[in-house]
């Protein structure tokens, strides 16, 4: 761990996903992220009760700004692991990756820091920024559908090998599909579920962090409930990073990698209702500001990748 206090602490939760962790952590390394150094941010990898836990040697190998925390639990939910990670965070701002299977785009750290620290919106003076990047699924369709036509980890390995994502992580957009949870987030509404969300650490603590009562595998609707609760304590300035994203790797996820007819939405909804006392209904979030983040030197390459 570096002695210099970082500006951003990134908490990433892993449960039995060593294959995916290798790529996720690589996309958070100082060699991959652009416009920032290892002194600007720290990555706190929380192993959430994995049957074969990640090792310090593995995690620390991605950079001197990487730290591993083992959170021993029998619960399949990441809720408490998130809170434990934030407890260890040293920076005034935090970013949360609740599903550690998600690779990130190369400018997401710098863009988040820029938004968190520098945003000055005349209509939201005094509001606290809440930043999200849209979520994507690797593959030709959302994975609940692409798996029906043979998409799996082996196919995904070949797909990722077909692009030089380590050299240019924006190529991940070329082999991905926008997740259902983010479809309305393209300039219309803040996502109800965020696979990358950043805010002030004190802001996170003020609203109470993640609700430990959500114990469903994968957390159920814990992410939805947290975002809703943040907006219920105004003023909040919602921001979407327009050129950045998270990319879900196929790993047998309880919601993302099951057939549509087997999706656990009903049980997730029942848990939400038992905890909150009402059924879940996506609230009308304020319209977000699109934060333009793209800083590459070759605009023609950007146009090609976006086509």
pLDDT confidence of 293, banded at 50, 70, 90? Answer: low
Q: What is the mean pLDDT of residues 73-100?
A: 96
Q: Do 98 and 77 contact (CB within 8 A), yes or no?
A: no
- At 294 the pLDDT is 56
- At 193 the pLDDT is 87
Q: What is the mean pLDDT of residues 199-205?
A: 96
Which of 32-41, 113-122, 155-164, 231-240 is the least confident region?
113-122
Mean pLDDT across the chain: 90
For residue 235, is the peptide bond before it cis, meaning its omega torsion is within 30 degrees of 0? yes
């Amino acid at each position: 761990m570096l002695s210099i206090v970082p500006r951003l602490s990134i908490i990433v939760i892993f449960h039995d996903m060593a294959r995916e962790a290798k790529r996720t952590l690589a996309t958070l390394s100082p060699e991959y992220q652009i416009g920032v150094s290892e002194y600007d941010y720290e990555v706190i990898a929380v192993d959430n009760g994995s049957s074969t836990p990640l090792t310090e040697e593995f995690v620390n190998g991605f950079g001197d700004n990487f730290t591993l925390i083992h959170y021993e639990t029998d619960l399949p939910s990441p809720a408490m692991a998130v809170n434990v990670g934030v407890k260890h965070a040293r920076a005034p701002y935090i970013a949360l990756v609740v599903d550690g299977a998600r690779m990130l785009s190369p400018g997401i750290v710098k863009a988040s820091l820029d938004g968190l620290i520098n945003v000055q919106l005349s209509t939201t003076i005094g509001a606290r920024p809440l930043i999200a990047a849209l979520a994507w699924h690797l593959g030709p369709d959302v994975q609940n559908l692409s798996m029906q036509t043979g998409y799996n980890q082996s196919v995904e390995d070949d797909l990722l090998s077909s692009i030089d994502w380590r050299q240019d992580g924006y190529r991940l957009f070329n082999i991905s599909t926008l997740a259902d949870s983010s479809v309305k987030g393209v300039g219309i509404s803040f996502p109800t579920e965020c696979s990358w969300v950043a805010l002030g650490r004190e802001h996170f603590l003020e609203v109470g962090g993640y609700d430990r009562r959500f114990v469903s595998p994968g957390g159920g609707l814990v992410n939805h409930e947290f975002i809703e609760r943040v907006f219920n304590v105004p003023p909040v300035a919602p921001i979407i990073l327009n050129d950045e994203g998270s990319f879900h790797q196929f790993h047998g996820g309880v919601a993302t990698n099951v057939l549509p007819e087997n999706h656990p939405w009903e049980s997730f909804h029942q848990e939400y209702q038992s905890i909150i006392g009402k059924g879940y209904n996506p609230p009308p979030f304020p319209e977000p500001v699109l934060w333009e983040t793209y800083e590459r030197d070759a605009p023609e390459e950007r146009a090609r990748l976006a086509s």
